[in-house]
Amino acid sequence: MYIINNVRLQVFDVETAMLIITYMTTIVDDVFHRIIEHDFGISEFTANMKRIKWLLEDNELEKEKFGQGNFNNIQGVIEFKNVNFKYNNTETEALHNINFKIKDNSKTAIIGMSGGGKSTIFKLLLKQYDNYKGKILIDNKDIRNFNEKSLRKAITIVNQEPILFNMSIKENLLMVNSKATINDIKRACKLANIDEFIESLPNKYDEIIEENTTNISVGQKQRIAIARAILKDTPIILFDEVTSALDKRSKKEIEKTIEELSKTKTVIVIAHTLDSIKNYDKILVIKEGKLIEEGNNKELLDSKGFYYALTNL
Ligand SMILES: Nc1ncnc2c1ncn2[C@@H]1O[C@H](COP(=O)(O)OP(=O)(O)OP(=O)(O)O)[C@@H](O)[C@H]1O
Ligand SMILES: [Mg+2]
C-alpha cells in the first residue's frame, strides 16, 4: 500500500487521475524490477516522472503512443491474438504466442507460477508497453487504435499495492469521478463492503488517510481502492493479486465484490490461490510466458494437466 504524501491535485478529472494512479503503480513496479533483477536504469523512470509532473501541471498529454479512435459504449470483450512480448532490457520473451478470448460480463482468473507473465498481460492491456507483436482487441477493435481517453474509460486496474493519497477518503474517491454524488460514493463503498466501516470512523468520509494511520487496516485501504475503481465504472476491471496480503475475512469480502461486479462487467483476476476461482467462467494457466491450459474448473480438472496437479498439491 502506498500513501502519496503532500500531493494536492489541481485537476480532478477521471483520465488524469487514473493516469497518475496507473503510472505511479507502474513506476513502483518497474523500479523494483530493476533493483532486484537488472541494473538500475534511470532513464525510463525519469521519463515516467516527467509525465506525472506534466499531468500534475495540467499540461497536454503525450499522444504519440495512442491511436486516434474515440470509442464509447464498450461491451468488454477481450481478445489476445498471437501476442509475443519481450521487455527491452531482457533476453527472453515474457509472453510467447498468447491467444485467448474473454466474453463480456464474465469472470476470468489468470493463474500460474511467479514470473510466468500474468501481470505482463495486464500491462499490455493497459498499453503500458506497446512494443509487442500480435494483436490485442477490445470489442474486436485493435487497442492500438484507441485514443488514451477511450482506453482509460474502458479499463481499470486494482493492484496489490494500490495508491491512496494523503487526503480524505471522499477526496480519494472523487479523484476518478469528480461528478459523483455522495449517493454514488456510498453505493460504490457498499459494493466494496467498506461503507459500514467508513461510517464508523470519527470523521466518516472526511477521515484523512495517512501513512501511519492505525485505525484503517491494509485490507480496508484495499477496499477503499476497490471502491474507487468501482466509482470509475469501466466495463473492464482487472485485479492483480489484490487478496494475497489480506486476512481471511477481507479476502471473502473482496471475493463477494468481484462476484457482484462480474454480473455487469468483464472481470479478470490474477489469483494466487485456487479455492476462490472454482465457479469462474474461464481460468487461464500461464507458465513461463505461455498459455498452457484454458477452461473452467471442471474442464481443467478433467484434462488432468497442470491445473489438476496444482489442486492436488
Ligand atoms: N519491468 C520489467 N522489466 C524487465 N523484466 C520484467 C519487468 N516486469 C516483469 N519482468 C519479467 O517478465 C517476466 C514476467 O513477469 P510478470 O510480472 O508478468 O510475472 P507474474 O506472473 O505476474 O509473476 P508474479 O506472480 O510474481 O507477480 C518475469 O521474468 C519478470 O522478471
Ligand atoms: Mg504479477
Report pLDDT digits (tens) over 170-195: 988 988 888 889 999 999 999 999 99
pLDDT value for 148: 83
Count of CB atoms situated within 10 Å of the CB of 42: 11
pLDDT value for 65: 72
**Is 87 a pocket residue for ligand 1 (Cβ < 6 Å)?**
yes
Q: How far is the CA of 113 from the centre of ligand 2 (A)?
A: 9
Q: How far is the CA of 161 from the centre of ligand 2 (A)?
A: 11
pLDDT by residue, tens only, the chain of 313 residues:
555 544 444 444 555 666 666 666 555 555 444 443 433 344 444 444 555 555 444 444 444 578 889 999 999 999 999 999 999 888 999 999 999 999 999 999 999 999 999 999 999 998 888 899 999 999 999 999 998 889 988 998 888 777 787 788 998 898 888 888 999 999 999 999 999 999 999 999 999 887 666 678 878 888 998 999 899 899 999 999 888 777 888 888 889 999 999 999 999 999 988 988 999 999 999 999 999 999 999 999 999 999 999 988 7
Cell numbers placing 150: 477511450
**Is 115 a pocket residue for ligand 1 (Cβ < 6 Å)?**
yes
**Is 37 a pocket residue for ligand 1 (Cβ < 6 Å)?**
yes
Count of CB atoms situated within 10 Å of the CB of 188: 24
Q: How far is the CA of 282 from the centre of ligand 1 (A)?
A: 22
| For the CA of 33, the nearest ligand | 1
Residue to mutate, 36, 88, 118, ligand 1, most ligand atoms under 8 Å from C-beta: 118
Of the candidates 205, 200, 139, 193, which has an alpha carbon nearest to the alpha carbon of residue 169?
A: 205
Of the candidates 183, 163, 270, which has an alpha carbon nearest to the alpha carbon of residue 231?
A: 183
Q: Are strands 163-165 and 2-4 parallel, antiparallel or unpaired?
A: parallel
pTM for this one? 0.84
**Is 45 a pocket residue for ligand 1 (Cβ < 6 Å)?**
no
Longest Cα separation, the chain:
55
pLDDT value for 213: 67
Kindly list the distances between the CA atom of residue 119 and the CA atoms of 58, 132, 154, in Å, as whole numbers in the listed order. Answer: 29, 15, 18
**Is 170 a pocket residue for ligand 1 (Cβ < 6 Å)?**
no
| For the CA of 120, the nearest ligand | 1
pLDDT value for 7: 47
Measured CA to CA, the distance from residue 44 to residue 167 in angstroms comes to 29
